[in-house]
Amino acid sequence: MGIDPGLTRCGLSVVQAGRGRSVLPVAVGIVRTPATAELPERLKRLSAGVNQWMDDYRPDVVAVERVFERGNVSTVIHTAHASGVLVLAAAERGIPVHMYTPSEVKKAISGNGRADKKQMTTMITRILGLAEPPKPADAADALALAVCHCWRAPLLARTAALLNSEGATS
């Protein structure tokens, strides 16, 4: 499951990893909260939405965009609140969470860590063989996070196994 955290629009996606770099789209959507609502109400709505997705799709792993400073402290704080709710939903189910920076996802999907939204949407549409680009951009970003993790998961698993075997022989 890929999650692009946001308080107003939170992108959610579910994909199925195939052989090699093959990834099949399962679902993509957005949880929206009204900007006029108070923070606790917005977080409650976000929590309900992500929990419903996790109940419906039962993901094995969750990939979340890591919050980073964008220059607007208020936006960063709101995104961090949203991210905490999303990570907690996975943690409560015992689902592993992997966090990726936007540049890591861009590099994995487009080969360019500075790719713009249009380029990312074009690439994720092509990679997943979608008939049309996912909208809004938050949905495309959620798919990109899920694909990024699918492609990185084998290396992460091999690294963890190697570290565990070294720890067992030390």
The answer to whether 54 and 93 are in contact (CB under 8 A) is yes
138 is in an annotated binding site: yes
4 is in an annotated binding site: yes
Cis, peptide link before residue 136, omega less than 30° from 0:
yes
38 is in an annotated binding site: no
Which residues are known to be catalytic? 4, 65, 138
Q: How far is residue 116 CA from its own chain's centroid?
A: 17
Phi, psi of 97 (to 5 degrees): -120, 130
Helices 117-128/102-110 angle, 10° precision: 50
- Looking at the DSSP bridge assignments, the partners of residue 23 are 17
Query: Distance between CA 138 and CA 67 in Å, rounded?
Result: 14
How, if at all, do strands 62-65 and 23-32 pair?
unpaired
Binding-site residue ranges: 4, 65, 138
Binding-site residues for Mg(2+): 4, 65, 138
